[in-house]
Amino acid sequence: MTLELDKSLPFSDNPKEECGIMGVYGPGKDVAQMCLFGLLSLQHRGQEAAGISVSDTKQINYEKGMGLLNSVFTNERLQTLKGINALGHTRYSTTGSSSTRNIQPYVIETAHGPLALAHNGNITNAAQLREELLAKGVGLTSFSDSEVLLMMIAGAKGNTWAERIKNTMPKWEGAFSLVFQSRTGLYAVRDPWGFRPLCIGYFPDWGYAVASETCALNTLGCINIREVMPGEIVVMNYDGMNSAPGMKPKKKTAFCTFEHVYFSRADSEWDGRSINSVRERMGAELAREAPVEADVVMAVPSSAIPAAIGYAKESRIVYTSGLTKNDYVGRTFIQPTDELRQLGIRLKFNALPYNLEGERVILVDDSIVRGNTSRALVKLIRDSGAKEVHVRVSSPPIVSPCFMGVDMGSYDELIAHRYSTEEIREFIGADSLHYLTIDGMMKAINSKTTYCNACFTGEYPIDVKTLSRSKLKFEG
């Protein structure tokens, strides 16, 4: 069977980023500036929009907008944000479109004072919860599941915010790593499955922070960094940083494997493991599973570089730089002609012919979602003089969408859901194509924690049969 290039799909072969959360508690400090510095370490988790809210103990003020952090936050805008705690968010839309009304943090006034929320994940029963709120006459301003969580907490029973969160958490199904902000504190919350990462740390002598990844906390100089445990509520306020009762963790957790494969920054830790080290081990496992005679190993920059290095070390084939990537170009948009499409790819990637000419090349990538970029890169490498191009992927074939906060596309958009590995190899134009097995991937992670591999297996840890397949499901 001959596959045709689907011109209706974007070129990106990677799943879209999730969201990044950053919170800082530090009376007397420039918490907004600290929050921005932390968010800059999380920009890879979302580039559509960003926001920061700050409490001055009386009210919560905020600034947010569409675009990257450096375009949203000027010195003038940061100067308006003074207070004792700050909450920040970088967004890629998973539920709700990319528009100003869906930018986080969400901030509302409640009977108990102002409250803000930043959320990473996806609530699988959000449609039902949304209808219940609307039936009660609760007004909603956005199409995001995150606002549903905020409004539920605002009307929950309890004497403290921690109690209200605890009393509401059992109603939520799906992935939620989130931070609530009140006038006087921050509340970090993680779902009992542990889908998405969330970590906390201590600033010597003056405060606390919470972030989606340890790299952000390390950037700010935090110590004693640990993960928020599945089902845990962590309170940061004048009384220090304390764990409050939440929910019991599920007997079978569901940590996201793709944090190791692609999402997390290489200098972060997830489940107590170095992301960079795990990716190198994935590459080494791939070399053992799918060896091939070749002259050089190269990576699709930049998240696949550790896996390519691991493959090169294990295979004892020299590692080289074969592609350069322009990190200042956004996602390649749909172009009207094949010629402009190819130029779109070349805006992102350029080959280094002097490292490729006459060589048998092993091209290592961390994932293939739609196949369009892989096809274009194989052609680019061949056009640069490579004799052979063997593609190796440091994760298994993606056959099912993610409903837990990652925009991987629909079943129809996933090339491995529709076609065999041999058909994909023919489509991308490679001399050979091999994916890492699930067993090899989990061997590289080497954890007793139970992970979610639904995108590779189609077996979800929670019921997704009734879920809408569209992130725009609340928008008519």
Domain boundaries, the chain: 19-254, 276-446
Average pLDDT over residues 218-227: 96
Residue of 462, 454, 425 lying closest to 438 (CA atoms): 454
Amino acid 353 reads P
Distance CA 318, CA 86 (A): 47
Structure tokens at 6: 């689907």
Class of domain 276-446: alpha beta
Give pTM, 2 decimals. 0.91
205: left (phi over 0), alpha (psi -120 to 50) or beta: left
Distance CA 309, CA 314 (A): 9
pLDDT value at position 143? 78
Positive or negative torsion for Cα 40, 98, 177, 332: negative
Residue 249 has pLDDT above 70, yes or no: yes
Distance CA 96, CA 231 (A): 25
Residue 452 has pLDDT above 90, yes or no: yes
Of residues 19, 199, 402, 455, which has the active-site annotation?
A: 19
pLDDT value at position 329? 66
Residue 455 a catalytic site member = no
Average pLDDT over residues 261-268: 96
Distance CA 224, CA 58 (A): 30
Residues in the chain, total: 476
The per-residue pLDDT for range 270-294, each reduced to its tens digit, is: 999 999 999 999 999 999 999 999 9
Distance CA 19, CA 255 (A): 16
Positive or negative torsion for Cα 19, 281, 429, 356: positive
Pick the CATH number of 19-254 from 3.10.20.740, 3.60.20.10, 1.10.357.10, 3.90.1200.10: 3.60.20.10
CB contact at 8 A, 47 and 146 = no
Residue 407 has pLDDT above 80, yes or no: no
Q: 46-49: long-range contacts at Cβ-Cβ below 8 A with a sequence spacing of 24 or more?
A: 46/17, 46/18, 46/19, 46/20, 46/89, 46/90, 46/91, 46/92, 47/17, 47/90, 47/92, 47/330, 48/91, 48/92, 48/93, 48/98, 49/90, 49/91, 49/98, 49/100, 49/102, 49/103, 49/104
Distance CA 397, CA 78 (A): 44
Distance CA 53, CA 65 (A): 12
DSSP letters for 342-357: HHHHHHHEEE-HHHHT
Q: Which of 61-70, 90-99, 138-147, 159-168 has the lowest mean pLDDT?
A: 90-99
Between 138 and 7, name the one with better pLDDT.
Answer: 138
Distance CA 321, CA 251 (A): 44
The per-residue pLDDT for range 432-449, each reduced to its tens digit, is: 999 999 999 999 999 999
The per-residue pLDDT for range 135-155, each reduced to its tens digit, is: 999 988 877 889 999 999 999
Instruction: Tell me which DSSP letter residue 260 carries.
Output: I
pLDDT value at position 471? 44
**Phi, psi (degrees; rounded to nearest 5) at 82:** -125, 135
Planar angle of CA 323, 324, 326, nearest 5 degrees: 140
Rounded to the nearest integer, the mean pLDDT of the chain is 90
pLDDT value at position 96? 43
Beta-bridged to residue 318, according to DSSP, are 296
